[in-house]
Amino acid sequence: MKKILLSLLVIVSLFVTNWAAAAADLEVNTPAITALKASMQARHGQLSPFYGAGAVGLTKDGMIAVKDAAAVPLSQRGSLSGLVSAENADRSNLYKEIATANSHPEWQSEIQSTFAGRWIDKAQAGWFYQSGGGWVKK
């Protein structure tokens, strides 16, 4: 009887320890995530002036969107939409990879909304972000 109790206790404590270790941090150091970060970092050099000009803004769902294509010289408009869709593809993959790297694919949308808030918080003054139904200048 005591043995049963003891073994049950051991099993329970093992599970609790396991859970505590898992809750400390999210895994973000996989090759896929590193590659996505590098790709986004390289693209940011090209996107940065577009944020500043108000041509591109941060959406409330953790993506970016063309806000005002007219803010960009005609010659650059073609590359603008390409950059935005490439960036959004990377972002979407990033959220998905973080969720799967932590064995919880269902966390993807929550990770995405966490990022959405943090992108906007860390954006430079003068950049545009989506709030409610419209664009707001930070």
Partner 1 sequence: MKKSVIALSAGAAAILTACVTINIYFPAAAAEKAADKIIDEVWQLKQGQEGADKSGSKPDAKPEIKPDAKPSPEAPAAAPAK
Residues near partner 1 (CB under 8 A)? 1, 4-5, 8, 11-12, 15-16, 19, 22-26, 28, 33, 37, 40-41, 44, 94, 98, 104, 107, 110-111, 114-115, 118-119, 122
User: Two tokens at 28?
Assistant: 């973000």
Residue 129 near residue 138, CB atoms below 8 Å: yes
When the beta carbons of 48 and 78 are compared against partner 1, the nearer one is 48
- End-to-end C-alpha distance for the chain, whole angstroms: 66
Least gap, CB of 91 to partner 1 (angstroms): 10
Name 131's Cβ contacts closer than 8 Å, sequence gap at least 6. Answer: 60
Residue 54 near residue 67, CB atoms below 8 Å: yes
Least gap, CB of 14 to partner 1 (angstroms): 10
Least gap, CB of 51 to partner 1 (angstroms): 10
When the beta carbons of 15 and 131 are compared against partner 1, the nearer one is 15
When the beta carbons of 7 and 78 are compared against partner 1, the nearer one is 7
When the beta carbons of 28 and 89 are compared against partner 1, the nearer one is 28
Least gap, CB of 134 to partner 1 (angstroms): 24
Order the strands of the 56-58 sheet from edge to edge: 64-66, 56-58, 128-131, 134-137
How far is C-alpha 96 from the geometric centre of its chain's CA atoms? 9
User: Two tokens at 112?
Assistant: 């995405």
Least gap, CB of 72 to partner 1 (angstroms): 20
When the beta carbons of 7 and 73 are compared against partner 1, the nearer one is 7
Alpha-carbon distance of 37 to 40, in angstroms, equals 5
